[in-house]
Amino acid sequence: MIRVGIYDSDMGILSEMENILLQLGNDRRIFMDIDVFSKKSDFLSHISGDVYDLLFLGINSDYEEVIDMALDAKKHNAHVSIIYVTEDESLWKILLEAHMFRLITKPIDHKFFRKCFMDAYNKMCVDKNYFEYKYKRKLCRVIFNDILFFESSGRYIIIHTKEEQSKMIGTLNTIECQLSFSATRFFRIHQSYLVNEKYIKNIERTSLLLFNGTELPISKRHYHFLKELL
């Protein structure tokens, strides 16, 4: 799923961009969750509690305020791609300093708009380096390299990172499938633990030690499997 946010004060342009994306998603079978905003205040209230992969931001004489919106979005997801949409093509030099991925001019060329989206989509497929989950209807993301291990606790999964712990509803079996595309390797060491390879310091017969001092149990079957790989 791709989270897309669209902002423009012109309702006609806003509707046009949304319709292009809906048609594109249908044609290419790309599942998108699209939010549209015509007011800056609505956009800013959402960006603080949501994570977007791609933003289309209408920008004109109020470019300083819109750039501030883009910078705020970057704080919540450093990997977000930002496509600016404007009537003033001369703004491109300023927008280059504001994390511009592409610039689309009005009136919108639908073919070029679709190309810009696909460029961003292909970049996302290559760059995706985070684990994504939902908890209490909120979309959350954690960089793979920041995850120490996943712990199963009843119906919940506790995600242990270098800085904090968070939780989600799920199973380790499902998470293992989700991690299959990750360049970071995670190993199942026990029915209740899935560990990031890079944080494993030492392996004993019945326990595994992480570099941060955390000691976790390891089953006999997984011990022999890991000793062959590491």
Instruction: Label residue 41 exposed, middle or buried (CB < 10 Å: 0-12, 13-18, 19+).
Output: exposed
Q: How confident is the model at residue 127 (pLDDT cuts 50, 70, 90)?
A: low
List, for residues 89-117, the tens digit of each pLDDT value: 888 888 888 888 999 999 999 999 999 99
Region label for 29, one of left (φ > 0), alpha (ψ between -120 and 50) or beta (otherwise):
left
Lowest average pLDDT, out of 69-83, 147-161, 172-186, 209-223, goes to 172-186
Say what the pLDDT of residue 79 is.
Answer: 76
Say yes or no to pLDDT of 211 above 60: yes
Q: How confident is the model at residue 206 (pLDDT cuts 50, 70, 90)?
A: very high
List, for residues 72-94, the tens digit of each pLDDT value: 888 877 778 999 999 988 888 88
Q: Other CB atoms closer than 10 Å to residue 61's CB: what's the count? A: 10
Looking at per-residue pLDDT, the higher value among 215 and 141 belongs to 215
Say what the pLDDT of residue 108 is.
Answer: 96
Q: How confident is the model at residue 61 (pLDDT cuts 50, 70, 90)?
A: confident
Say yes or no to pLDDT of 181 above 60: no
Residue for token pair 């494993």? 200
Region label for 76, one of left (φ > 0), alpha (ψ between -120 and 50) or beta (otherwise):
alpha
Report the first-to-last Cα separation within the chain, whole angstroms: 34
Residue 149 near residue 185 (C-beta atoms within 8 A): no
List, for residues 13-35, the tens digit of each pLDDT value: 999 999 999 999 989 888 788 99
Percent of the chain with pLDDT over 70: 94
What DSSP line would sit under 144-212, residue for residue? Answer: GGGEEEEEEETTEEEEEESS-EEEEE--HHHHHHHGGG-SS-EEEEETTEEEEGGGEEEE-SSEEEETT
Single-letter amino acid, residue 67? I
